[in-house]
């Protein structure tokens, strides 16, 4: 394990160091005093698929884990906007809240956020064949959750009793599924989206990812069963081409 003091480092310097460490074969890095440095974990592609474990103390800047290629990042604190932007594979765990556009265009891997998240969560998240992004939020999200969502799985657990107050959920959604613990009004959801109860397959999906969530946040002292016994609803697109009648071709 190796430590970096990010205090004096600019975005590029920090990411250069991380890249050098990955190329040198280091597998675990702890970064302390992070304060707004962007794109942490981004330039860590290697043809031989090297994987690192990165622990962050402080507040990482925007686009944390953008294009993440199989690494595992833990943030001991809050994250800002754009976590997991176009993330490819790997895992991000945020022991706090996340900002806007969490999981934007995410196309693989997992993100677990302990608390709430901001606007436009999972905006245009997508899936393809064996690539299936999964995003689990302990709290809830603000407006435009799953806007233009094309694939993947989003789970909102509302563990802190706030209820789902977000509006315009799933506007333009044409793929994937959003699971909400609790209830949601029809008016909060885009017209392209169907609200339905869970079937057996949905239950299996929830079971798997809620267990993973609980494992990652032992401090919450919650069991999977406690969470899963409550009512959930599923949001899924009515059509795979919601705008087919609008476009001329």
Partner 1 sequence: MPRIRRELYNKEICACSIFGAMNRDGERFTGKGVMLAIANMHVRGNGLGGGFAAYGIYPEYKDYYAFHLMFTGNSPEAKRSAKVGFDAFLCENFDVVSDEEIPHSDEAVVSDPPLIWRYFVLPRKQGEEALLSDEDYIVKMVMRVNTEIENAHVFSSGKNMGCFKGVGYPEDIGEYFMLDKLYSAYTWTVHGRFPTNTQAWWGGAHPFSLLDTTVVHNGEISSYGTNRWYLEMYGYACTLQTDTEVIAYAADLLMRRQKIPIEIVAKILAPPIWNSIDRMDEKEKKLLTTLRMVYGSLLMNGPFAIIIGQTGKMIGLTDRIRLRPITAATRGEMFYLSSEEASIRLISPKLDSVRTPNGGEPVVCELNNIRTVLE
Contact footprint for partner 1 (CB under 8 A): 11, 34-36, 38, 58-62, 78, 80-81, 97, 99-100, 118-119, 142-144, 167, 187
List all residues 6 or more positions away from 203 whose beta carbon is below 8 Å from its beta carbon: 228
* CA pair distance 63, 45, nearest whole angstrom: 16
**Inter-residue contact 122 to 154 (CB < 8 Å):** yes
Q: Residue 41 is encoded by which pair of tokens?
A: 């974990």
Minimum CB separation from partner 1 for residue 191, in Å? Answer: 10
Contact of 84 with 154, CB cutoff 8 Å: no
Find the shortest distance in angstroms from Cβ 59 to partner 1: 4
CB 108 to partner 1: min, Å: 24
Phi, psi torsion values for 196, nearest 5 degrees? -140, 160
The answer to whether the CB of 172 falls within 8 A of the CB of 154 is no
Instruction: Work out how close the CB of 202 gets to partner 1 at its nearest, in angstroms, rounded to a whole number.
Output: 28
Smaller CB distance to partner 1: residue 61 or 170?
Answer: 61
> For residues 70 and 82, which CB has a smaller minimum distance to partner 1 in the complex?
82
Instruction: Identify which of residues 123 and 210 has a Cβ nearer to partner 1 in the complex.
Output: 123
- Closer to partner 1 by CB, 62 or 153: give it: 62
Closer to partner 1 at the Cβ: 38 or 114?
38
Torsion of Cα atoms, 9 then 14 then 20 then 21, to 10°: 100
- DSSP alpha helix (H) spans, 5-110: 11-23
Query: Least distance to partner 1 from the beta carbon of 87, Å?
Result: 19
């Amino acid at each position: 394990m190796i430590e970096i003091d990010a205090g004096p480092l600019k975005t590029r310097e920090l990411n250069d160091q991380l890249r050098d460490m990955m190329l040198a074969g280091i597998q675990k890095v702890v970064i302390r005093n992070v304060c707004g440095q962007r794109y942490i974990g981004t330039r860590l592609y290697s043809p031989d698929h090297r994987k690192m474990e990165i622990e962050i103390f402080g507040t990482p800047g925007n686009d944390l884990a953008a294009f993440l290629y199989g690494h595992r990042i833990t943030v001991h604190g809050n994250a800002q906007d754009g976590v997991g932007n176009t993330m490819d594979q790997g895992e991000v765990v945020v022991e706090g809240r996340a900002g806007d556009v969490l999981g934007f265009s995410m196309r693989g891997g997992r993100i677990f956020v302990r608390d709430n998240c901001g606007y436009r969560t999972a905006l245009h998240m997508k899936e393809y064949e064996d690539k299936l992004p999964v995003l689990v939020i302990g709290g809830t999200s603000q407006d435009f959750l799953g806007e233009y969502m094309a694939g993947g799985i989003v789970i909102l657990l509302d563990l802190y009793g706030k209820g789902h107050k977000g509006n315009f959920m799933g506007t333009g959604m044409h793929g994937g599924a959003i699971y909400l613990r609790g209830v949601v009004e029809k008016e909060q959801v885009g017209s392209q989206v169907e609200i339905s109860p869970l079937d057996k397959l949905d239950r299996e999906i929830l079971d798997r990812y809620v267990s993973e969530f609980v494992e990652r946040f032992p401090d919450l002292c919650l069991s999977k069963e406690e969470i899963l016994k409550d009512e959930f609803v599923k949001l899924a697109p009515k059509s795979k081409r919601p705008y087919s009648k609008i476009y001329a071709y």
